[in-house]
Protein backbone atom coordinates (compact mmCIF):
# COMPACT_ATOMS: atom_id res chain seq x y z
CA UNK A 1 0.00 0.00 0.00
CA UNK A 2 2.87 2.34 0.85
CA UNK A 3 4.47 1.71 -2.58
CA UNK A 4 1.25 2.70 -4.37
CA UNK A 5 0.93 5.85 -2.30
CA UNK A 6 4.59 6.72 -2.89
CA UNK A 7 4.19 6.19 -6.66
CA UNK A 8 1.14 8.44 -6.72
CA UNK A 9 2.90 11.06 -4.63
CA UNK A 10 5.67 11.27 -7.24
CA UNK A 11 3.66 10.48 -10.39
CA UNK A 12 0.82 12.95 -10.03
CA UNK A 13 2.96 16.12 -9.79
CA UNK A 14 5.12 14.94 -12.71
CA UNK A 15 2.00 14.32 -14.84
CA UNK A 16 0.50 17.69 -13.97
CA UNK A 17 3.77 19.47 -14.77
CA UNK A 18 4.06 17.65 -18.10
CA UNK A 19 0.48 18.51 -19.13
CA UNK A 20 0.83 22.13 -18.04
CA UNK A 21 4.26 22.74 -19.60
CA UNK A 22 4.77 20.32 -22.50
CA UNK A 23 1.35 19.27 -23.79
CA UNK A 24 -1.56 16.93 -23.55
CA UNK A 25 -3.98 14.87 -25.62
CA UNK A 26 -7.49 16.19 -26.32
CA UNK A 27 -10.52 14.92 -28.19
CA UNK A 28 -11.79 17.09 -31.05
CA UNK A 29 -15.57 17.37 -31.03
CA UNK A 30 -17.77 18.69 -33.80
CA UNK A 31 -17.50 19.34 -37.51
CA UNK A 32 -16.04 22.86 -37.62
CA UNK A 33 -12.57 21.63 -38.61
CA UNK A 34 -13.61 19.03 -41.19
CA UNK A 35 -12.02 17.55 -43.21
CA UNK A 36 -8.80 17.94 -41.17
CA UNK A 37 -10.41 16.58 -37.99
CA UNK A 38 -13.25 14.08 -37.72
CA UNK A 39 -13.72 13.43 -41.46
CA UNK A 40 -15.80 10.37 -40.57
CA UNK A 41 -18.65 11.35 -38.26
CA UNK A 42 -18.55 7.90 -36.63
CA UNK A 43 -15.08 8.44 -35.15
CA UNK A 44 -13.49 11.32 -33.28
CA UNK A 45 -9.90 12.41 -33.61
CA UNK A 46 -7.58 12.88 -30.66
CA UNK A 47 -4.77 15.41 -31.06
CA UNK A 48 -1.60 16.27 -29.22
CA UNK A 49 -1.80 19.90 -28.08
CA UNK A 50 1.67 21.37 -27.69
CA UNK A 51 1.81 23.92 -24.86
CA UNK A 52 5.60 24.28 -25.00
CA UNK A 53 5.50 26.23 -28.27
CA UNK A 54 3.32 29.00 -26.82
CA UNK A 55 5.55 29.71 -23.82
CA UNK A 56 7.60 32.90 -23.65
CA UNK A 57 7.40 36.26 -25.41
CA UNK A 58 7.98 35.03 -28.96
CA UNK A 59 5.13 32.57 -29.34
CA UNK A 60 6.06 31.58 -32.87
CA UNK A 61 2.57 30.97 -34.23
CA UNK A 62 1.93 31.66 -37.89
CA UNK A 63 -0.78 31.66 -40.54
CA UNK A 64 -2.07 28.13 -41.08
CA UNK A 65 -1.32 26.81 -37.58
CA UNK A 66 -4.15 25.04 -35.78
CA UNK A 67 -4.54 26.25 -32.21
CA UNK A 68 -6.60 25.51 -29.14
CA UNK A 69 -7.99 28.58 -27.43
CA UNK A 70 -10.45 29.73 -24.82
CA UNK A 71 -13.68 30.73 -26.55
CA UNK A 72 -14.21 34.50 -26.47
CA UNK A 73 -17.98 33.81 -26.33
CA UNK A 74 -17.86 31.20 -23.53
CA UNK A 75 -14.73 31.28 -21.32
CA UNK A 76 -15.62 27.82 -19.98
CA UNK A 77 -15.22 26.28 -23.43
CA UNK A 78 -12.08 25.51 -25.43
CA UNK A 79 -12.24 25.61 -29.22
CA UNK A 80 -9.82 24.50 -31.90
CA UNK A 81 -9.38 26.65 -35.03
CA UNK A 82 -6.89 27.56 -37.76
CA UNK A 83 -5.02 30.87 -37.77
CA UNK A 84 -5.95 32.69 -40.99
CA UNK A 85 -4.50 36.12 -40.14
CA UNK A 86 -1.88 37.47 -37.77
CA UNK A 87 -1.42 40.97 -36.38
CA UNK A 88 -1.22 43.59 -39.11
CA UNK A 89 -2.92 41.40 -41.74
CA UNK A 90 -6.00 42.67 -43.51
CA UNK A 91 -8.52 39.83 -43.76
CA UNK A 92 -11.56 39.59 -46.00
CA UNK A 93 -14.24 38.22 -43.69
CA UNK A 94 -16.97 35.65 -44.29
CA UNK A 95 -20.08 37.27 -42.81
CA UNK A 96 -18.58 39.45 -40.08
CA UNK A 97 -20.04 42.89 -39.31
CA UNK A 98 -17.52 44.46 -41.72
CA UNK A 99 -16.24 42.98 -44.98
CA UNK A 100 -12.56 43.63 -44.20
CA UNK A 101 -10.75 43.62 -40.83
CA UNK A 102 -7.22 44.66 -39.94
CA UNK A 103 -5.99 42.28 -37.24
CA UNK A 104 -4.81 44.42 -34.28
CA UNK A 105 -1.51 44.00 -32.48
CA UNK A 106 -1.50 41.02 -30.13
CA UNK A 107 -4.43 39.37 -31.93
CA UNK A 108 -5.09 36.68 -34.56
CA UNK A 109 -7.97 35.86 -36.91
CA UNK A 110 -9.11 32.24 -36.53
CA UNK A 111 -11.53 30.18 -38.60
CA UNK A 112 -12.81 26.64 -38.81
CA UNK A 113 -12.00 24.78 -42.04
CA UNK A 114 -15.66 23.78 -42.54
CA UNK A 115 -17.02 27.13 -43.78
CA UNK A 116 -20.42 28.02 -42.37
CA UNK A 117 -20.26 25.36 -39.65
CA UNK A 118 -17.90 27.09 -37.26
CA UNK A 119 -18.04 29.53 -34.37
CA UNK A 120 -14.94 31.55 -35.19
CA UNK A 121 -13.60 35.08 -35.79
CA UNK A 122 -16.35 35.63 -38.35
CA UNK A 123 -18.69 35.62 -35.33
CA UNK A 124 -16.58 37.24 -32.62
CA UNK A 125 -13.79 39.12 -34.43
CA UNK A 126 -10.04 39.08 -33.83
CA UNK A 127 -8.89 36.97 -30.87
CA UNK A 128 -6.32 38.01 -28.29
CA UNK A 129 -3.16 35.87 -28.34
CA UNK A 130 -3.65 35.55 -24.58
CA UNK A 131 -6.56 33.18 -25.21
CA UNK A 132 -4.37 30.68 -27.10
CA UNK A 133 -3.65 27.66 -24.89
CA UNK A 134 -1.79 25.30 -27.26
CA UNK A 135 -0.87 24.45 -30.85
CA UNK A 136 -2.21 21.22 -32.33
CA UNK A 137 0.80 19.34 -33.65
CA UNK A 138 -0.45 15.87 -34.59
CA UNK A 139 -3.40 13.50 -34.72
CA UNK A 140 -2.60 10.58 -32.44
CA UNK A 141 -5.83 8.60 -32.47
CA UNK A 142 -7.22 6.61 -34.22
CA UNK A 143 -4.02 4.92 -35.44
CA UNK A 144 -5.22 4.95 -39.04
CA UNK A 145 -5.10 8.78 -38.91
CA UNK A 146 -1.67 9.26 -37.30
CA UNK A 147 -0.10 12.34 -38.86
CA UNK A 148 1.66 15.60 -38.17
CA UNK A 149 -0.52 18.59 -38.89
CA UNK A 150 0.62 20.87 -41.68
CA UNK A 151 0.62 24.61 -41.21
CA UNK A 152 -1.32 25.81 -44.23
CA UNK A 153 -4.11 28.23 -44.94
CA UNK A 154 -7.00 26.52 -46.79
CA UNK A 155 -7.00 27.21 -50.54
CA UNK A 156 -10.37 28.97 -50.41
CA UNK A 157 -8.90 31.55 -47.96
CA UNK A 158 -5.51 32.24 -49.60
CA UNK A 159 -6.75 35.32 -51.44
CA UNK A 160 -8.54 36.63 -48.34
CA UNK A 161 -5.36 37.90 -46.68
CA UNK A 162 -3.25 40.96 -47.38
CA UNK A 163 -0.09 40.42 -45.36
CA UNK A 164 1.53 43.17 -43.36
Active site residues: 32, 81
Q: How far is CA 48 from the centre of its chain?
A: 11
Measured at the CA of 97, the angle between CA 161 and CA 37, to 5 degrees, comes to: 55
Q: Would you call 154 helix, strand, or coil by DSSP?
A: coil
Bridge partners of residue 23, in order along the sequence: 50
Q: Phi, psi (5° rounding) for residue 9?
A: -65, -35
Which residues have CB under 8 Å from 135's CB, separation 6+?
49, 50, 53, 54, 61, 65, 66, 67, 68
Amino acid sequence: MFRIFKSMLVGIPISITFCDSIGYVARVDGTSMQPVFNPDRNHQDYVFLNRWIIKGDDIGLQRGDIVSLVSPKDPGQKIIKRIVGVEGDVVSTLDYKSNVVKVPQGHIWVEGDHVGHSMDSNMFGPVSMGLVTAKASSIIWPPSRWQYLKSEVPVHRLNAIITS
